[in-house]
Amino acid sequence: MDSNTVVLSLLVLLTCAPRCIYSEESHLVKMNLVQNASSLGAYCLDGSLPAYHLDRGFGAGARNWLLQFEGGGWCNDIKSCLDRAQTRRGSTRYMSKVEVFSGILSNTASLNPDFYNWNRVKLRYCDGASFAGDAKFDNGTSLLYFRGQRIWQAIILDLLPKGLGQAKKALLSGCSAGGLATFLHCDDFTNYLPKNASVKCLSDAGFFLDARDIGLNHTMRYFYKDLVSLQGVEQNLDKNCTTSNLYPAQCFFPQYALPYIRTPFFILNSAYDVFQFHHALVPPAADPHGHWYHCKLNPVACNAVQIYTLQGFRKYMLETLRFFLISSRRGGMFINSCFAHCQSELQDTWFAPDSPRVNNKTIAQAVGDWYFGRNIGKDIDCAYPCDSTCHNLIG
């Protein structure tokens, strides 16, 4: 397998930015640099200061907090991280200074009924390791900071005196690589907050599987192994997981970390997650002749063998989640069969008249019911192509 091809394909810049927000619904929130981050050695890949966007809560939600990790892939070698450091995924210098808050971050009750009046925070992603690394590369010519763990700590410490430290309710969430970060930091988030606070966590499109690709290679496993080694991630992984696992680096995978998470957790994921479909199940190196090209663009174009392979991927995801489905009394799930990636920040998939549904529930309804204990459910969709509510947002 061509490792360079794997790296390049996995560095596709994922974004959870809303794709169809009408101007009257747009809500722009400015970026705040964490000025004290340098005292902790918390820097983006290029040495710039980390940042977040905070939209203040109001009314009954003034003491409730929702923190959302931004997503955007990873880098697992010096070249890809140097390249990344020259983009918005590795430097706040290149980031937009305002962000649209929509979906789960919306401040409008009709668009986000349960969390609209909470303090809502978007944590910008600039380290390339799901906010989990702690290392530095300096060869005298190039300098890279792998300080995701310190960035996470610096942002939390900046928010605590701004009201997070007195939170009554809190939800840590994230999309894609940010969704994976939620698995890694969920219990740590709980430890920062008051003992009597209601703290829960949500991962959107972050349940990346330790699965073989169509060439029977462990593409994601080796990619993460290199990432964990390069960025000094292992020391920040759950100690109970790493001491129980023959290969500690695999605790970067949610399926191995999840059993050790004590905080109530909700998993929002597509069983046919587009990123995993394109880069884990069928990475370019495993399909050199492009037999999957049309199937990747539109599932309707998939042949019988390809559909069978996709159904096998869904089956494996559900198998890895079986223990959580059965044993977690406080956990929630929404596993739909849409070809999508990141559904909580998109208004049309989060909460809209034509939003995807499972058991006649939108994602916003399922998450809200779970968080507030109205109806703790684990909703699993039927297999593709049975769900007519899907938008199938292949990108």
Per DSSP, the three-state class of 361 is strand
pLDDT at residue 11 tops 90: no
**341 given a catalytic annotation:** yes
The yes-or-no answer on residue 2 being catalytic is no
Q: Which of 48, 176, 328, 337 is catalytic?
A: 176
Own/partner long-range contacts of 108-113 (Cβ < 8 Å, ≥24 apart): 108/25, 108/27, 111/25, 111/347, 111/350, 111/351, 111/352, 112/350, 112/351, 112/364, 113/351, 113/364, 113/368
Answer yes or no: are the C-beta atoms of 337 and 314 closer than 8 Å: yes
Global pTM reads 0.92
Is position 38 annotated as part of the catalytic site?
no
Residue 359 has pLDDT above 50, yes or no: yes
Q: Which residue has the higher pLDDT, 21 or 307?
A: 307
Quote the percentage of the chain above a pLDDT of 90. Answer: 91
Q: Which of 341, 348, 355, 381 is catalytic?
A: 341
Two tokens, residue 311: 């159904």
Encode pLDDT of 162-194 as tens digits: 999 999 999 999 999 999 999 999 999 999 999
DSSP state string for 5-53: HHHHHHT-------S---GGG--EEEEEE-GGGGGGT---TTSPPPEEE
Catalytic residue among 114, 127, 187, 273: 273
Residues 213-225 pLDDT 10s: 999 999 999 999 9
pLDDT digits (tens, 9 = 90+) for 192-246: 999 999 999 999 999 999 999 999 999 999 999 999 999 999 999 999 999 998 8
Residue 338 and residue 355 in contact, taking contact as beta carbons nearer than 8 Å: no
